[in-house]
A and B are shown apart, each in its own frame.
Chain A
Amino acid sequence: MSAVAGFPQAERQRRPALGRLLGSGAVMVTVIYLLLLLVYSLCQKNALSMTQFSDQLSNGLPLALGAAGGTLVVLMRGFDLSVAGVIALADVLTATQAGDGQLGALLCLAMVVGTGLLVGAVNGFLVAYVGLQSIACTLATMIICSGVALLVLDAPGGNVPDFISDNLTGTLLGVPVPLIIALVVLLGWVILRKTNWGVGLYALGADETAARLAGVPVRRVKFLAFCAAGALYGVAGMMLAAATSNGDPGAGTSYLLLVFAAIAIGGTTFTGGRGGLLGSMIGAATLMLLQKVLFSLGVSSFYTGIGQGLIMIAAVLIAALSARLARRMPR
């Protein structure tokens, strides 16, 4: 186990700094994000103001959290389609069941995280212990979750308590709360990826047989990854309800494909074992910013999709090119 854990570090030390930067998907997507931000600030006057930034954060956080959760599953070569179902379910639960005040918000958080954990545990059990294909069983759980969401709230509406919608989109000591949430998730990830579970996750994605032979408890690692992903989707749904101030049982569907786009742009490969949560979350921010940039450039809203599609392809190509450059660098 320690041999597996030591390997990435050893490799990292051998590489020159430039090669390391070029090879990291998170760094490349950050560069793309900053370029877009530059374009945006040139064509929109108050683009870099605090309110704009804060707005973007609260609108982008649900996608970022969803992408963060999805990354955990993609890292081990899985697909988790239940993200759409859990976001919708957590969204309507927040809009109908949450109480007011601090206690209500805490209970609501416990409720959405619990829901996400439950769905994640079902997915994890079916994939890790029963051996179903992840895309197949998460498709079924997604459909079931959206059905439950329809039972909770059959049409867009509901009422999100002011405490939740104000505080989750507001600021704490001058720092936007969505940023704090994102940082907490990233901090948790930084700690977790150093644990046996985190190392096992990467090992499992790179080569499942090798990981099993090296003593990684493959089933438990898979199971826990689905659980953690579910919990993150739950928080994403609550954040979505807070940002939109109401619930919508169909809210999840628009996130399904965007989540995977954010993961891909963030440099996590669908062949497993490479990438991370930071890249996916910045990838999500890039996608959200892209819509604003295309709008402010005066592209007709009919055609924004063309720009979005082209930039997605370009981002993946740039990431691949820079990774290739990094590999050619002298060691």
Chain B
Amino acid sequence: MKEAFMPGHAVADTRTTGRALGSEVITPLVLFALTVLLVIASRWISPSLGGFHQVAAIIVLSSFLMVVAFGQQMVVLIGGLDLSLPSLLTLGGILTFAWSGASGWSLIWILLVVLVVNGAIGALSGAGIAWLRIPPFIMTLAMGIIVYSAALGITAGTPRGHPSAALGSLFSGRILGLPPIIYIMILFVVFGTALQSYTPFGRKLYALGTSPVAAHVAGLHVAWLTVATYAISAAAAGCAGFLLVGYAGGATLVMGQSYLLPSIAAVVVGGTSIVGGRGNYISAVAASLLLTTFSTIISSIQILEGWRTIIYGCLILIAIAALREDVPLWLNRSLQRPSRPPQAPGAARSTQ
């Protein structure tokens, strides 16, 4: 019976290792291609779409999502979920708005302070998850509520500050005809991908996400890795808040709320497994671009808001279904299904 069961095992193994290697390259390529096709096709919807300026606008708009998704993706990679991102983004925005307005160079200090404050809060979440074994879902949800409530109380509902011209020029300025933020985002994506895929730290996260027990046995400091991941995620959210202040010229208490679900969407459309251990940042970047393109095009169509929302949801559903890495395998299995049931009870009997 053991021999009879082995082939099934081998098939399962090729799916998880052999195909995953391929999907690391295929998923982002398909997503980028879809985005480009959509942008080109959008010319038919409206002549104002599909041009060079619109591409730049989409990249600028999606930059905040890319930064937030960087943190969310790392947390999902180790099998968690970060629900505190909206509050932490808001906190980053409020801090930036309160202190900015001075000369350009002080911005770097503000960014550093935001990263440190947010990183400390994220580390606290990570500590609760790693040492007190609080489920990530509940720890980050509670931390998000606490941070939001503190921000609400301290600002008494209306964040005060001055818009920063230097920060705004990241979006309004031009270097070689493009807003400077685009060059910064390219650096960020390269840095993020390198950190995740080519550093020992990043590879350890994959090990941790695949099996925490195995990672521990292999000598990894599981607790510290968890703390570091949540700290980085929180810092990334703060960074997104920092940038958003530059784009919007101010901060509000709800500025983070519209980024929670898109951050999850970007991560899962990018093919990252919610149970951890699989996925890569470049796919999440491509998914952020695709999602932003979806919403940009949809918002230019003259239809009811309800229909826009429905179309957006359907497009996400189609993207998820189309990007399943094992679509061919599923077809195979569906065709072979009639032969499977007799095998399962047989295998069960043999183990007893």
A-B interaction: yes
User: Which chain A residues have a beta carbon within 8 Å of chain B's beta carbons?
Assistant: 77, 79, 81, 126, 130-133, 135-137, 139-152, 154, 212-215, 257, 260-261, 264-265, 269-270, 300, 302-306, 308-310, 312-313, 316-317, 320
- Chain B contacts with A in 115-152, Cβ cutoff 8 A: 128, 132-135, 137-139, 141-146, 148-150, 152
A99 to chain B minimum Cβ distance, whole angstroms, is 23
Contact check, A302 vs B274: say whether CB atoms are below 8 A apart: no
User: CB-CB < 8 A to A308: which residues of B?
Assistant: 142, 145, 149
Contact check, B83 vs A150: say whether CB atoms are below 8 A apart: no
Asked whether A133 and B145 contact (CB < 8 A) given A143-B312, A213-B344, A269-B135, the answer is no
Considering the complex, give the chain B residue whose CB is closest to the CB of A261.
B141
- Which residue from B142, B152, B313 sits with its C-beta under 8 Å from A140? B313
Contact check, A135 vs B274: say whether CB atoms are below 8 A apart: yes
19 additional A-B residue pairs with CB within 8 Å, beyond A140-B316, A303-B152, A316-B138? A130-B321, A139-B264, A143-B261, A144-B317, A145-B313, A147-B309, A150-B305, A150-B306, A154-B305, A213-B344, A213-B351, A215-B344, A261-B141, A264-B138, A270-B137, A302-B153, A302-B157, A305-B146, A313-B142
Contact check, A151 vs B143: say whether CB atoms are below 8 A apart: no
Closest 8 CB pairs of A and B: A305-B149, A147-B309, A143-B313, A150-B306, A147-B310, A144-B313, A151-B306, A309-B146
Contact check, B264 vs A147: say whether CB atoms are below 8 A apart: no
Does any Cβ of A come within 8 Å of B197's Cβ?
no
Considering the complex, give the chain A residue whose CB is closest to the CB of B12.
A209
Q: Kindly state the separation between the CA atoms of A300 and B83 in the bound complex, as whole angstroms.
A: 24
Contact check, A257 vs B141: say whether CB atoms are below 8 A apart: yes
- Binding-face segment, B17-25, B41-49, B215-223, B265-273: B265-273
Contact check, A137 vs B320: say whether CB atoms are below 8 A apart: yes
Chain B interface, number of residues (Cβ within 8 angstroms): 53
A146 to chain B minimum Cβ distance, whole angstroms, is 6
Contact check, A214 vs B268: say whether CB atoms are below 8 A apart: no
Contact check, B142 vs A131: say whether CB atoms are below 8 A apart: no
The residue in A132, A144, A145 that gathers the most chain B C-beta atoms within 10 A of its C-beta is A144
Contact check, B321 vs A139: say whether CB atoms are below 8 A apart: no
B243 to chain A minimum Cβ distance, whole angstroms, is 25
Contact check, B312 vs A147: say whether CB atoms are below 8 A apart: yes
Asked whether A132 and B348 contact (CB < 8 A) given A146-B309, A303-B153, the answer is no
- Which residue from A136, A151, A257 sits with its C-beta under 8 Å from B269? A136
Contact check, B344 vs A135: say whether CB atoms are below 8 A apart: no
User: CB-CB < 8 A to B142: which residues of A?
Assistant: 261, 308-310, 312-313
Q: Kindly state the separation between the CA atoms of A316 and B139 in the bound complex, as whole angstroms.
A: 9
Q: Classify the interface of chain A: helix, strand, loop or mixed.
A: helix
User: CB-CB < 8 A to A143: which residues of B?
Assistant: 261, 309-310, 312-313, 316
- Which residue from A214, A306, A312 sits with its C-beta under 8 Å from B141? A312
A236 to chain B minimum Cβ distance, whole angstroms, is 20
Does any Cβ of A come within 8 Å of B324's Cβ?
yes
User: CB-CB < 8 A to A146: which residues of B?
Assistant: 309, 313
Q: Kindly state the separation between the CA atoms of A264 and B138 in the bound complex, as whole angstroms.
A: 7
Contact check, A140 vs B348: say whether CB atoms are below 8 A apart: no
Does any Cβ of A come within 8 Å of B307's Cβ?
yes
Contact check, B321 vs A132: say whether CB atoms are below 8 A apart: yes
Does any Cβ of A come within 8 Å of B102's Cβ?
no
Q: Kindly state the separation between the CA atoms of A126 and B318 in the bound complex, as whole angstroms.
A: 11
B192 to chain A minimum Cβ distance, whole angstroms, is 22
Does any Cβ of A come within 8 Å of B112's Cβ?
no
User: CB-CB < 8 A to A148: which residues of B?
Assistant: 306, 310
Does any Cβ of A come within 8 Å of B160's Cβ?
no
A-B pairs with beta carbons under 8 Å apart, 27 shown? A132-B320, A132-B324, A137-B321, A139-B265, A139-B268, A139-B316, A140-B316, A141-B313, A143-B309, A144-B309, A144-B314, A147-B306, A148-B310, A213-B347, A214-B348, A215-B344, A260-B141, A265-B138, A269-B135, A302-B152, A303-B149, A303-B150, A305-B145, A305-B148, A306-B145, A312-B141, A316-B135
- Which residue from B83, B138, B275 sits with its C-beta under 8 Å from A313? B138
Contact check, A304 vs B310: say whether CB atoms are below 8 A apart: no
- Which residue from A77, A133, A152, A269 sits with its C-beta under 8 Å from B273? A133
Does any Cβ of A come within 8 Å of B162's Cβ?
no
Does any Cβ of A come within 8 Å of B7's Cβ?
no
Q: Kindly state the separation between the CA atoms of A270 and B135 in the bound complex, as whole angstroms.
A: 7
Q: Kindly state the separation between the CA atoms of A175 and B134 in the bound complex, as whole angstroms.
A: 38
Contact check, A309 vs B317: say whether CB atoms are below 8 A apart: no
B309 to chain A minimum Cβ distance, whole angstroms, is 3
Q: Kindly state the separation between the CA atoms of A213 and B9 in the bound complex, as whole angstroms.
A: 13
Contact check, A131 vs B326: say whether CB atoms are below 8 A apart: yes
Q: Kindly state the separation between the CA atoms of A290 and B299 in the bound complex, as whole angstroms.
A: 40
Q: Kindly state the separation between the CA atoms of A320 and B139 in the bound complex, as whole angstroms.
A: 13
User: CB-CB < 8 A to A77: which residues of B?
Assistant: 275
B158 to chain A minimum Cβ distance, whole angstroms, is 12
Contact check, B307 vs A147: say whether CB atoms are below 8 A apart: yes
A277 to chain B minimum Cβ distance, whole angstroms, is 18
A270 to chain B minimum Cβ distance, whole angstroms, is 5
A32 to chain B minimum Cβ distance, whole angstroms, is 14
Contact check, B321 vs A312: say whether CB atoms are below 8 A apart: no
Q: Kindly state the separation between the CA atoms of A133 and B128 in the bound complex, as whole angstroms.
A: 27
Q: Kindly state the separation between the CA atoms of A320 and B157 in the bound complex, as whole angstroms.
A: 36
Does any Cβ of A come within 8 Å of B183's Cβ?
no
Q: Kindly state the separation between the CA atoms of A148 and B261 in the bound complex, as whole angstroms.
A: 18
Contact check, A136 vs B309: say whether CB atoms are below 8 A apart: no
User: CB-CB < 8 A to A152: which residues of B?
Assistant: 306
A73 to chain B minimum Cβ distance, whole angstroms, is 13
Does any Cβ of A come within 8 Å of B304's Cβ?
yes
Does any Cβ of A come within 8 Å of B330's Cβ?
yes
User: CB-CB < 8 A to A269: which residues of B?
Assistant: 135
- B281-325 vs A, CB cutoff 8 Å, 1 = contact: the mask equals 000000000000000000000001111111111101100110010
User: CB-CB < 8 A to A310: which residues of B?
Assistant: 142, 146
